[in-house]
Structure 1
Amino acid sequence: MIEKLNFRRRVAAVQMVSTADVQSNVTSATRLIKEAADQGAKLVVLPENFAVLDGGPQTQYAEREGDLDGLLQGTMSTLSRALGVYIVAGTIPLITRPAPQGADPEILEDGRVRPASLVFDPDGQIIARYDKMHLFDVEVGDKQARYAESDSFEAGDQIVVTDTAVARLGLSICYDLRFPELYRHLLREQAELITVPAAFTRVTGEAHWEVLLRARAIENQSYVIGCGQGGVHNEKRETFGHTMIVDPWGKVLAMQETGEGVVCADIDLEKLYEIRRKMPVFSHRRIR
């Protein structure tokens, strides 16, 4: 594990209202990440689809993993290095599947991409990649009505936890939030801070977003950053927002309801381990 000099670190979540204009979205993300760093954040999380939302086939924006000359990965690498922060880059469409170290990456050839949450360290290097495991193929009572992510995305199949100087991160994305077994695995791998970049619809967000985030924090005794899209994107698509940082007791430390912006909070790992010591939920499990 990376040694932590003290138990408190400031983290931030960037809420956006992304559109089909990639360059405009990247410009907004850059500005908001800098704002978070100016507020003292050492780790910044972007929402799902931060670079493009409802912009047609994702293959036109897709990059190969590790292509730091690409617009999306290159911008995140440059920013993390220049600002000295970790960036959890929401989701970036990747045309390559994860490959073992030293192996050539396998390229998707069916017109789909992998929605990947990449973690950049303060040296601008990619230290983790998580591909969304649960795809949003549902019917919702809004103007879009039907969502079929599997038409555009290929699901991942690997649970990912990575060490940073801020906390041990467990990675997840949006619809994953409804599958508590994933988060139990993240806790088993000693995650301390769980990131949930998302684009929850307004309808489902109003009903379930906050309660699910707080439940995942409480039952896994972890900090959770739920980082959302928050506004009207086009004539059919509206997202709920309410980006928030939740502590291991289920308390919402900071939140932004709608519109773009930055929320910051200090996480305290000493508090986290005190909660786990006093109420050792994980060791009390009867079903494993």
Structure 2
Amino acid sequence: MENKLRIALIQTELLWEDPQANRTMLQSKIKGLANAVDLIVLPEMFSTGFTMDAISNFETMQGETLNWLKQMARQLNSAICGSLIIKEAGVYYNRFVFVQPDTTVTHYDKRHTFTLAGEDKAFSSGTHKVVLQYKGWTICPLVCYDLRFPVWSRNTEDCDLLIYVANWPNKRILAWDTLLRARAIENMTYTIGVNRFGVDGKNIEYSGHSAVYDALGQTIIFSEKEEVLTTTLDRFEVLQQRNKFKFLEDRDQFTVR
């Protein structure tokens, strides 16, 4: 079991509905991370931007972007994750994929589709919370609008790390900042949020604010510009804080359906 986890957050503009161009752009940003980090986090819908045109932009789990992620994970010796549009069994998902260096893939389908943008009309909602294991860390992947719903993010599995990937617009960025910190505090866990930057094909502006917070809500890294952020997390620090304060032992018990 490894207590240290070296991470990289890719806060970037995305090219509208152009997976090949986005793969090329992202590869140029992450190529220097080989053997330097354990985990690379990309934004939500990193291959297309936050489009509701699932029919024209879907891929499959055997598609080019998944193959590219596997190639990158293997070459860089790092896990890599983010969300993209996947069609499976005749329906479309905003699917978070987590690819390990041995090319093992774990996926999570976004539970809370963003009704304000019509995501609920274009995509099916996920039905299962996912918790995965990587390098001795227990990690819960989540997507954008999930951030507004604390019950779904609730740390009942002794997670060490919550990861949110997003296309969260600048006009509501205060909510992003506030809720990310709140999720870290209430769950006593490291919380990563990776948001995109720039302007999308619908002329919506994004200002980043990708960040990492510790189990007490302290800011570890934060950015308002297009860049690659790196830091190292220490699982032992989270365990120390939980053992000292024991806040999670006093939480209410209930079942999520």
TM score, norm. by length of structure 2: 0.93
Percent identical pairs in the alignment equals 28
Counterparts of 1:189 and 1:28 in 2: how far apart (Å)? 36
Tell me which residue corresponds to 2:68.
75
Confirm whether residue 198 of structure 1 aligns to residue 177 of structure 2. no
Confirm whether residue 10 of structure 1 aligns to residue 2 of structure 2. no
Per-residue deviation, 1:181: 0.4
Q: Which runs of 5+ in 1 are unaligned?
A: 97-105, 139-146
Contact 2:138 2:159 in 1 (8 A): yes
Per-residue deviation, 1:284: 1.1
Per-residue deviation, 1:54: 5.1
Counterparts of 2:212 and 2:33 in 1: how far apart (Å)? 14
Counterparts of 2:77 and 2:197 in 1: how far apart (Å)? 27
Counterparts of 2:180 and 2:78 in 1: how far apart (Å)? 24
* Count of aligned positions: 253
Tell me which residue corresponds to 2:98.
119
Cα 1:248/1:36, change in 2 over 3 Å:
farther
Equivalent residue for 2:216, pick from 211, 225, 249: 249
Match of 2:126, SS state, is: coil
Counterparts in 2 of 1:189-268, with a 5 A limit? 189-205=157-173, 207-234=174-201, 236-259=203-226, 261-268=227-234
Contact 1:214 1:250 in 2 (8 A): yes
Contact 2:52 2:119 in 1 (8 A): no
Contact 2:188 2:248 in 1 (8 A): no
Confirm whether residue 27 of structure 1 aligns to residue 20 of structure 2. no
> Quick one: which amino acid aligns to residue 59 of structure 2?
E
> Quick one: which amino acid aligns to residue 7 of structure 2?
V
TM score, norm. by length of structure 1: 0.83
Contact 2:33 2:76 in 1 (8 A): no
Contact 2:211 2:219 in 1 (8 A): yes
- Tell me the alpha carbon deviations over residues 231-256 of structure 1, each in whole angstroms, 9 at most, x when there is no partner: 11246211231111111121111122
Contact 1:134 1:175 in 2 (8 A): yes
What's the Cα RMSD here?
1.6
- Tell me the alpha carbon deviations over residues 156-178 of structure 1, each in whole angstroms, 9 at most, x when there is no partner: 11000000006211010000001
| Higher strand fraction (1 or 2) | 2
- Tell me the alpha carbon deviations over residues 32-54 of structure 1, each in whole angstroms, 9 at most, x when there is no partner: 2223446x211111100110025
The 4+ residue runs of structure 1 with deviation greater than 6 A are none
